Structure 1
Amino acid sequence: MVAGLSIGRRPPRVLGLVVELPTHRRIFVPMLRVTRIEPTAVTLATGSVNLRRFHQRPNELLVLGQLLGARVAVERTGAAAALVDVAMEPTRTRDWQLTKLAVRERTGRLGRRGPTRVLDWDEVTGLEFAEVTGRPQGVKQLLAMFDTMRAVDVASTLHDLPPQRRYEVALALDDDRLADVVEELPEEDQKDLLQHLDEARAADVLGAMSPDDAADLLAELSEVDKDRLLDLMAPEESAPVKRLLEYSSDTAGGLMTTEPVVVGPDATIAEALAVVRSPGLPVALASLVFVCRPPSATPTGHYLGCVHIQRLLREPPSTLVAGALDTDLASLSADAPLTEVTRYFAAYNLVCGPVLDDEGHLIGAVTVDDVLDHLLPEGWRESGLPEAEPAQPTNREAR
């Protein structure tokens, strides 16, 4: 298990599992991909798994390799003890936390083992982040603060940090969290951070970003750097980015994301609602479900129409989405200029709209936040970043 410790007495989150393949390659599997844990097996959700070799990040802790055996103290009695086992439990937000610790007290008598006790995480001291990892206190404090902040607020704080401290924090954040933050940074800060990461890590972060944001960032790099990073990315991650790079940035094709919500015509209302409930789905994309014939990945099969989330909430869960289609909503072409896209959103009062090719296949969706990014003056992120304040905790993988 890989955990990320936080400041204070909050139980740390389990970030994922390190799995060894038959080829002896150790890879990382995020906990959100785990659907069930049994004594003899771990069941994963369907889909692809990143097969890159696991490399431990500075803010990560290997539970078996670094936690077990740690010298701790029982908070209530002050007794010295050794950590001999750890238990993790799922939370209502689908995260897993290290909640229980088994500790064996030290009696001071040679050859004698003290009693073993099971305690809550906050009943033990000596497991603070810096003590276990050796990470500097300043970075520790920032990481703990960032854990409860939205990505845009973390980006605002990073922008104001001295460059060296900014690089230290970036190295300590996991790929998904760093990707969320990079998406909210000013363009120059994005390029600067990317250049201070090693190429393999930079490719991982680009792969974790939304394809449209990754394409925008890569378009600002030299052709040599862009091609090298695209080659290092996993093929399933680089393919949509390469498609987006073919379009001008001020057209619907350059603005769109290639990962809209798509279901088949035989899906039920309940199944469509289950998809838009995903905590990692941006709000704008969750407002509209596109119904297409297979394949469901863009470019899809023939586009049939869309269903607005308000309609999904009004229909019986067992009915098919095909019976709730909006077939009259106009679509955008990939070469539609920014002015046409802006008029489209204003005319139809939408936050998300479909982009079709000449054959009637869905190739992506434009969201209103991406339109605003291009309408606002250059450098707006630097002059108009909001003040960073602690917000409600957000899911580590939400993006």
Structure 2
Amino acid sequence: MAAGAPRIFVSHLQGVAVFDPAGDQVGRVRDLVVMLRMGQRPPRLLGLVVELATRRRIFLPMTRVTAIQSGQIITTGVLNVRRFEQRPTERLVFGELLDRRVTLTEPGEEVTVLDLSVHQLPARREWEIDRVFVRKGRKGSAFRRAKGEALTVEWTAVTGFSLEEQGQGAENLLATFEQLRPADLANVLHHLSPKRRAEVAAALDDDRLADVLEELPEDDQIEILGKLKEERAADVLEAMDPDDAADLLGELPTDDQERLLSLMQPGDAADMRRLMSYEDRTAGGLMTTEPIVLRPDASVADALARVRNRDLSPALAAQVYVCRPPDDTPTGKYLGTVHFQRLLREPPPSLVSSILDNDLQPLDPEAELPAIAGFFATYDMVAAPVVDEAGSLLGAVTVDDVLDHMLPEDWRETEFHLDEEVTTDGS
């Protein structure tokens, strides 16, 4: 469902078929998973519970839903088939929210929830529940049909769903800090007790926890990962940037590494093993294996569409890398780079192969940190390709990865105490 598309009532999604991009059916929708938020803020739709042909129920994140149309749901293709397990901060729409008694704020009358509508936020990939379809009067029973006026109201017009201010547990804390950047939420976790830190980490969804782990000191990362179930730990590692996940895996005992790698998707595990084969402070050890890769016949419009992906860091979105197939790293022959600013100056139908920058030599995977830093400083780069002897693109090193390894090892702890030091000095 594209941004700006009409809202969808959840009752229309029950039992809807889910297809992969090739048109093959993978299952049917059995429920929707939402996260309630404090006060009257509409709940965030996290994903769908999909029942496979084997009757196993799995979780499909909304970030992997590309379209909801004509009674069908299209996904990006790759599904995690581990069994769905509901987490403490999650609510099931069909199982827990429908048929519930809530109260209209005006005039304070109790009503029954018949349906809810969801919509995608403009220019974002997040979904929310925005309206509630309710019926006035007493709730019906198996022997008596409920009667009364039915009406649709805004989410803010009812009470009885949202988290209460005096509520305890991880829900309240997560709702309070939901808008924090990952680095700031990492700061919060760093100062919690180990017990509380584990509770909050268990309640975060995989993508959010992955973002936060990337911002935590190494000891905190290892502690949190060690308290997760192994299957979930593997899911979180898959959601992390490959270079950060490889760094974290590299700090674990060999037996633990192998167990977690065996639980990952084969492609993700292969990326991890490849990154872990390089020395830490080399281009191969610093690079991410997921830069934007395009074929020579891709257009400028194609490149700009890829750059718009909100999940990309600014450094990775700063340029695209043009290679012969295959598109995934390691690629076919690396041809050159096209910088974002150049893309903005060219007509959308132009081919990226016609505007390549191939003057600069790419980084060798064995290049060491001082040489990499010098390369970035000399040419004012924010990202650089890493290419092997055969001319294949292996990945890209970004400036944030270089800074992470050039700063003192305890720089994150120093950053976490910066605000306290400023307050103490009175500055």
TM-score, normalization by structure 1: 0.92
Deviation at 1:148, TM superposition (A): 0.8
From 199, 204, 209, the equivalent of 1:173 is 204
**1:71 has 2:105 as partner:** no
Correspondence list, 1:1-399, <5 A: 1-45=32-76, 47-92=77-122, 93-107=124-138, 111=144, 113-129=147-163, 136-385=167-416
Q: Which secondary structure state, in structure 1, belongs to the residue aligned with residue 102 of structure 2?
A: strand
- 1:115 Cα deviation from its structure 2 partner: 2.1
User: Identical aligned pairs, as a percentage?
Assistant: 53
Question: Can you give the 5+ residue segments of structure 1 that lack an aligned partner in the other structure?
Answer: 389-399
Structure 2 contact 58–83 (Cα < 8 Å) conserved: yes
Give the C-alpha shift of residue 313 in structure 1.
0.6
Residue identity opposite 2:163 in structure 1: F
CA distance in 1, matches of 2:387, 2:139: 74
Q: TM-score, normalised by structure 2?
A: 0.87
- On the 8 A contact 2:130/2:154 being kept in 1, the answer is yes
Shift of the alpha carbon at 1:383? 1.2
- Is the contact made by 1:88 and 1:97 (CA closer than 8 Å) also made in structure 2? yes
Task: Give the Cα–Cα distance (whole angstroms) in 1 for the partners of residues 83 and 418 of structure 2.
Answer: 38
SS at the partner of 2:134? strand
Report the residue type matching 1:69 in the other structure: D
Question: Are the structure 2 counterparts of residues 387 and 124 from structure 1 closer, same or farther at C-alpha, using a change threshold of 3 Å?
Answer: farther
Report the alpha carbon displacement of residue 137 of structure 1 after superposing the two structures with TM: 2.5
SS of 2:214 mapped into structure 1: helix
Q: Is the 8 A contact 1:287 1:352 kept in 2?
A: yes
Q: Say which SS state the counterpart of residue 28 (structure 1) adopts.
A: strand
* Distance in structure 2 (CA, Å) of the matches to 1:130 and 1:65: 21
Tell me the distance in 2 between the aligned counterparts of 1:138 and 1:387.
28
Per mean C-alpha deviation after superposition, the further-off stretch among 106-115 and 362-371 is 106-115
- RMSD over aligned CA atoms reads 1.8
Q: What amino acid maps onto 2:118 in structure 1?
A: M
Of the structure 1 ranges 147-156 and 34-43, higher mean CA displacement relative to structure 2 is found in 34-43
How many angstroms apart in 2 are the aligned matches of 1:234 and 1:4? 27
Pair 1:108–1:70, CA change in 2 (3 A):
closer
Query: What are the ranges of 5 or more consecutive residues in structure 2 without an aligned counterpart?
Result: 1-31, 420-427
Cα distance change of structure 1 residues 136 and 239 upon mapping to structure 2, 3 Å threshold: farther
Cα distance in structure 1, aligned partners of 2:73 and 2:87: 23
Structure 1 171/326 Cα, relative in aligned 2: closer, same or farther at 3 Å? same
Give the corresponding residue for 2:13: none
Q: Kindly provide the CA deviation profile for residues 333-357 of structure 1, in whole angstroms up to 9, marking residues without a partner as x.
A: 1111111111111111101000001
Is the 1:156–1:387 contact (alpha carbons within 8 Å) kept by the matching residues of 2? no
Q: Which has the higher contact order (CA 8 A, sep 6+)?
A: 1
Distance, in Å, in 2 between the alignment partners of 1:34 and 1:234 is 19
3-state SS in 2 of match to 1:29: strand
Q: Distance in 1 between matches of 2:285 and 2:133?
A: 54
Shift of 1:122: 0.5
String of CA shifts for 1:112-165, please: whole Å, max 9, x gaps: 52322211100000102369xxx9525233211332111011001110112222
Contact 2:89–2:170 (CA<8 Å) still a contact in 1? Answer: no
